[in-house]
Amino acid sequence: MREKVLGVWHEISWNEYREHVHVVAMALLSLGIQRGDAVSILSSNVPEWLYCDIATLSLGCITVGIYTTNSPEEVAYIVSHSESRVLFVEDEEQLDKWLQTREDIPQLKIVVVYDMKGLRHFQDPLVMSFDEILELGREEVAKNSGLFDEIWPKVRPEDPALIVYTSGTTGAPKGAVISHHNITWTNRSLVEANDAYEGDEILSFLPLCHVAERNITTFSSMTCGWVINFSENLETVPENIREVSPHTFFAVPRYWEKFYSSIILQMKESTWLEKLVFSWAIRVGDVVSTLRLDKKEIPFLWKAQYALAEFLVFRNLKQMLGLDRGEYMLSGGAPIAPGILKFFHSVGLPIREVYGQTEDTGPTSIHQGDDIKLGTVGKPMPGIEVKIADDGEILVRGPNVFQGYYKDPALTAEYIRDGWLHSGDVGEFDDEGNLKITDRKKDIIITSGGKNVTPQYIENKLKFSPYINDAVIIGDERKYLTALIMIDKENVTQHAQDNRIPFTTYKSLCQREEIIDLIQKEVDSVNRTLAQVEAIKKFRLITVELTSEDAEMTATMKLKRKYVSERFKDLIEDMY
């Protein structure tokens, strides 16, 4: 693995990785941590996350990841509910969350801080630095160097490994219990579905407490021998991608949408000749990628044109993104517009889509090899059974299905019935066996006229616009559909500057008539592709800049329909 410190990438070998895991595990044992205990980690993606995670699992204990965007109250709930005995935190900011709520989590035995910057003179009997943990662990290794190798082989496949807390739309977060067998089987199945190569490089930047990033960074890397590169922070991800040029790259749709919009807007600033060449190259790429996806022979003339397009346009474009070595690229965690995927296929970046959820350890289905059909999420993973219930709900059965919700047998029985996991998603199979997701079962809109509408389909069309970050379609038991739209701040700001539209704040930008007209044109463009019952009659812009730290948005940058509808109910009512 590699991490960037003071502008320089530092390498960590597999032997060093293993040694850190050994030392941390011995330190945990010396602190009285026993098999089955839970250990929480509250940090962004750093090597220490992996050391502590694998050390915990090696002892037969359970790792609980916590988002750095969680509030102090949410942190306290997760640590308390999981009965964690140890809490690893990244820095002073995350330590403060424990300090504010320590009275609510009395079972916590010790808090360990990775980065002690700003805490040099801080003293607390329950707080240790990570360096102190390493020193303690080395002392324990010196006393009994063979103990660790006696313990880890005793961990059983059926033992719980992770409790992954997912934010519910109502009530407290629920903890999904995932076993060692769930993890190992799932990651071997991922390798069976798509070839992976030892030594390939990845960039780790999405939260490690999310099951998808956990698989890619921690478990698939161990399975395949990948080199993990940790991004400095979310703001430096584009720069870090260019520096690393990863072979394998997983991102949520928002990142692919940003890549797409940055290319389109950059071309708007180009000369007329550059625009002409780019448009020609995209047309050629579209024809060739369509033939490839349809598994048809590509005529020599088109091959020749594509080679020229690659030389003149696509090669530079991929280098600009940092994906010139990209071989295994995935989009998951949320739906993505097929048009976005088609664009990247056209320029020679064949992104595959993966679908799943925490409760089946990440993946249910995935585009496998060259078997890619856009508009679907591919075929079920090898060894997984998927069927469609009478009401259209997707049901899953296989070794990847989780053990249940921690301390909630009633909720577990609701989601797992007769061995089948009820996903909560509605979908269908096409005639080639590819799974197509319609929407979340609870999100399907029934208008006052009795028409069923799938909002996700319309929202994806809106997000294809470079000026729209996200959208929520409203219309359940209403006469017509409306939308709450969140603008793409960067691209709309650039548009305002280019067109000399004055504004001072994000709110004032959203309130400018010129910006509302800009978004209206994007909505009108989408409406022309929709049936009359699906057309968006009115919209309002969300004038608050929402981030993953807000309750209305998930850590993977999806708007939460219920929370958004509640917070902006006055805006919604104004449209009716």
Region 39-48: mean pLDDT is 98
pLDDT at 558: 76
* pLDDT, tens only, 3-15: 998 889 999 999 9
Long-range contact set of residues 31-36: C-beta below 8 Å, sequence gap at least 24: 31/86, 31/109, 31/110, 31/136, 32/85, 32/109, 33/59, 33/61, 33/85, 33/86, 33/109, 34/61, 35/59, 35/60, 35/61, 36/60, 36/61, 36/62, 36/160
pLDDT bucket at 169, cuts 50 / 70 / 90: very low
Summarised one tens digit per residue, pLDDT across range 492-507 is 999 999 999 999 999 9
Mean predicted confidence (pLDDT) in 410-429: 95
Q: Compute CA distances 250 → 58, 123, 164, 381, whole Å.
A: 26, 40, 19, 17
DSSP assignment of 470-483 = EEEEE-TTSSSEEE
The residue-averaged pLDDT of 386-401 equals 96
At 171 the pLDDT is 60
CA distance 297 to 208: 42
- Give the Cα-Cα-Cα angle 485, 460, 306 (nearest 5 degrees): 130
Burial-class residue 142 by CB neighbours within 10 Å (0-12, 13-18, 19+): exposed
Q: What pLDDT is recorded for position 170?
A: 47
Confidence of residue 337 (pLDDT cuts 50, 70, 90): confident
Q: What is the CA radius of gyration of the chain?
A: 25
pLDDT score, position 301 = 96
pTM listed for this prediction:
0.89
Domains recognised in the chain with CATH numbers: 1-155 (3.40.50.980), 181-393+416-439 (3.40.50.12780), 444-574 (3.30.300.30)
- Helix, strand, or coil here: 34? coil
Confidence of residue 168 (pLDDT cuts 50, 70, 90): low
Which amino acid is located at 575 in the chain? M
For residue range 228-246, list pLDDT tens digits in order. Answer: 999 999 889 999 999 999 9
Query: Is residue 103 pLDDT above 80, yes or no?
Result: yes
Q: Determine the pLDDT at residue 57.
A: 98
pLDDT in tens, 111-121: 999 999 999 88
Q: Which residue has the tokens 């049936």?
A: 531
pLDDT at 550: 74
Q: Could you give the percent of the chain with pLDDT greater than 90?
A: 84
pLDDT tens profile 183-213: 999 999 999 999 999 999 999 999 999 999 9
- What was the pLDDT predicted at 477? 83
Q: Over 60: is that where the pLDDT of 163 sits?
A: yes
Q: Which residue has the tokens 């219930």?
A: 389
